[in-house]
Amino acid sequence: MKQTVLSGIRATGRLHLGNYLGAVKGMLALQEDSTIDTFFMVADVHTITTPYDIDELKLNRREVIIDYLAAGLDPERSTLFLQSMVGEHLELSFLFSSVMSIARMQHLPTFKDKVKQYPDHATMALLNYPLLMASDILLYKANLVPVGIDQEPHIEIARQVARKMNEAYGTDFPEPTRFATKGEYVPSLQGSGKMSKSVAGSFISLTDSEAEILERLKAAPTDDGKGNLQTMPQGVKNILQFVELFSGAEKRAEYEAQYEGAGIRYGDLKKELAASIAAELKPLQAKRAELMVNPKYIDDVIATGATKAQAVASRTLDEVKEKMGLG
């Protein structure tokens, strides 16, 4: 069976290490396989489901395209586009809303979390968020979705929508699964929760310099450096996870041995870790600098991507409308 991939990132700010390891690295791995069709979008319409600033959105959606390109996504091999430029996404999501119950949507943990975070913005758009995401995925009949583990409840909704649509209308949507990477859950620098754009102090941006990375790591909580691995505080576990992700499992084992022995010197560890992270980000930052001087190229990528995506999306939408009696 032909494999098709779709993924997206909201246009809420500069990408961080969580986005990179949990989503972008998976996108890059899948783009490598020339037998797979890959679609990567900026979920700019999803951005309006929580409070946002209009000028920032305009800027950020372009920044995400630049981050994609800087990370190595290649418009010759993948379709890179802005969700809002392909109106079919919105249209299909409304059709999908006819097969999902309000109760199912209200009980999603991701919906409840966002309502807690923004109690004055419990909108219909937020409730419909997962249906728009299902539409993003199923318009391209994608069966693989590279995203972090936090998105699993949304992928489950996409599978359910696919099943229900296939049963009710005889469509041929695949049931998509998540494509997991090694960094599917990158912890926050603050000791608890995940690294997130919306939590200041939790993240390292892909554009941070080594000095900025070190500053951010210095603020991460630790302990006196010694003790038992079983009772190690979460903040220290998180730092060791970063060591494993950027300096390798052997380095982590070395620090664990120190923890149970003479003790870890966090000042040294953080310096070494900052250098490893900076080394990984350096090529991305160099590519970003090149891209920034050529705005016309970015415009072209965005325009071409929309045309390519729309050709596929409109075919699927027509099929669905036909089957639903709306053709």
Tell me how far CA of residue 242 lies from CA of 20, 134, 140, in angstroms: 13, 32, 34
First to last CA, the chain: 28
Per-residue mark of binding to ligand TRP, 129-168 (x: CB under 6 A) = ----x--xx-------x-x---x--x--------------
Known catalytic residue at 25: no
CB contact at 8 A, 154 and 130: yes
Instruction: State which residue, 145 or 236, has the beta carbon closest to ligand TRP.
Output: 145
CA–CA distance from 268 to each of 205, 212, 258, 274, 277 (Å)? Answer: 22, 16, 12, 10, 14
* Consecutive H or E run containing 43: strand 37-43
46 is a contact residue toward ligand TRP (CB under 6 A): yes
Task: Please state the closest distance from residue 87 (CB atom) to ligand ADP, in A.
Answer: 22
Q: Which of 25, 141, 197, 270 is catalytic?
A: 197
Q: How many residues bind ligand TRP (CB under 6 A)?
A: 14
Residue 218 known to be catalytic: no
Q: CB of 229 within 8 A of CB of 256?
A: yes
Beta bridge partners of 9: 42
Residue 16's SS3 state is: strand
CB of 31 to ligand TRP, least distance (A): 15
Residues lying near ligand ADP in the complex (CB under 6 A) are found at: 9-10, 12, 18-19, 21-23, 147-148, 150-151, 183-186, 194-198
From ligand ADP, ligand TRP, none, interface partner of 213 (C-beta below 5 to 8 A by class): none
User: Per CB under 6 A, does 309 bind ligand TRP?
Assistant: no
DSSP readout, 83-133?
GGG-THHHHHHHHHGGGS-HHHHHT-HHHHHHHHH-GGG--HHHHHHHHHH
Would you count residue 6 as binding ligand TRP (CB under 6 A)?
yes
Helix (H) or strand (E) holding 37: strand 37-43
**Which residue among the candidates 164, 194, 251, 323 is catalytic per the annotation?**
194
**Dihedral pair phi/psi, residue 258, rounded to 5°:** -60, -40
Query: Residue of minimal CB distance from ligand ADP?
Result: 22
Contact indicator for 45, 4 with CB cutoff of 8 Å: no
Q: Is 197 a catalytic residue?
A: yes
Report the nearest approach of ligand ADP to the CB of residue 9 (Å): 4
Q: Which does 12 bind (CB under 5 to 8 A by kind): ligand ADP, ligand TRP, none?
A: ligand ADP
In Å, how far from its chain's centre is CA 194? 13
100 close to 158: Cβ distance less than 8 angstroms: no
Question: From the list 5, 8, 21, 178, which residue makes contact with ligand TRP (rule: CB under 6 A)?
Answer: 8
The secondary structure of residue 230, as a DSSP letter, is: G
Give the residue with the Cβ less far from ligand TRP, 5 or 236: 5
- Using rule CB under 6 A, residue 197 touches ligand TRP: no
Select which of 25, 58, 112, 114 is catalytic: 114
Residue with tokens 């630049």: 66
Report the nearest approach of ligand ADP to the CB of residue 159 (Å): 17
User: By the criterion CB under 6 A, which residues form the site for ligand TRP?
Assistant: 6-10, 43, 46, 133, 136-137, 145, 147, 151, 154
> Would you name the residues annotated as active-site residues?
114, 194, 197
